Chain A
Amino acid sequence: MTRPSDFILNSDYLSIAQTGRSEHTLTFAGGTLQPGGSAGDYVVHTTDFTIASEPGSIDRIMISTNGGDFYIGYQTSFEAAPLAYGSLDVCRITKNTMRATMVVANSSDSVNTFPSMSFRIKITSFRPPNIF
């Protein structure tokens, strides 16, 4: 055994290799939400986009909402409108397809509307180590 922390590089330990980087801009239409707690008080929108990868790909994702700052992770939260909060989830569903799912829910006691939402998504993909 060795102490890996003593080494800059050490081929006695596996590593993950980056296979690609990409950026995607997604836009979801706005909508109307019924009062919180009633039917129609939330919406779920999905959109798929293509991004090639290898099976077992490890993805590092960052998301920006409506031109704002980037946050790390496959999922982020946002305020779509006053008292209308949402989340965006970005995950692979097949080897070469990712799905973005936006959920917006109404916390207001009244009908609420929210505008279209735009997201920038940065994805860096890694192939798994050669052990499979």
Chain B
Amino acid sequence: MSKVDPRDFLLNTDYEMDKIILFKSGTINAGQYDVRIQHGLSFAPLTFGVFAYTDDFSGPRPMPYQYVTPELTIDVGLYSDPTNLYLSYHNSSGTPATIYYRIYAFEPSDSHASITHTSGFANNFILSTDYNYCKLKEKGVVDANTSATIQHNLGYLPQVLVWNELNGYTNQVCNSMPYLGGAPNVKVTEQAVIITDIPRAHYRIYYDEA
């Protein structure tokens, strides 16, 4: 039997597809540093999200997000624990005073909980073969307090997502700072994912190319 290449498929029931198990949206004001939203799950969800300066989300940026220059600092925080989502927004310029956010989440690989369906939010197709849905190759949790290497051996650069769990709080690794000592970073090669300075790293590696 010939081997299939998952990249040739928009959907493929041989490979797991991401399922969003949580969705939250709203606004947050500059200077709010500890906004808590109970999520109702029994675990710390693997969150990801976007924020924007306008409610049409025409210029979305990732959450969490940090932009630091000598002239301007913008810091939008997002992390979770088994009870809450935590949001914060700091802008050294003071404007815009309010940002809009949308937060999504996956279930960690070490959780197998019963979770309320999220499809009820939908006003259109849940799935559409007009688009590609990423096919998960593997997911897991690894101790990368110094460094950890996960061999994927795909021969190309796959899409990779990583979350940093520290002292019970989890946030997505949205930036890699290899020249900042002690800062989490994630390197991707054609054979491996190398995670550094993350005590407990949740990862997802996809067959789909970056």
Name the B residues within 8 Å of A89 (CB-CB): 67
Inter-chain contact B178/A58, CB cutoff 8 Å = no
Given A3-B113, A93-B59, A8-B179 contact (CB < 8 Å): no
Name the A residues within 8 Å of B58 (CB-CB): 55, 94-95
Name the B residues within 8 Å of A16 (CB-CB): 18, 20, 104, 133
- Chain A interface main SS type: strand
Decide yes or no whether B167 CB sits under 8 A from chain A. Answer: no
Q: What 1/0 flags go to A63-106 for Cβ under 8 Å of B? A: 10000011111111111000001010101111101000101010
- Among B26-34, B88-96, B186-194, the one that faces the other chain is B186-194
Inter-chain contact B132/A1, CB cutoff 8 Å = no
Given A73-B173, A77-B177, A131-B122 contact (CB < 8 Å): yes
**Distance to closest chain B CB from A26 (angstroms):** 17
A8-B13, A18-B132, A130-B123 known, 19 other contacts, Cβ within 8 Å: A4-B21, A5-B111, A12-B118, A14-B126, A15-B133, A17-B133, A18-B208, A56-B50, A70-B187, A71-B178, A71-B188, A72-B173, A78-B179, A94-B59, A101-B69, A103-B70, A122-B210, A129-B23, A130-B125
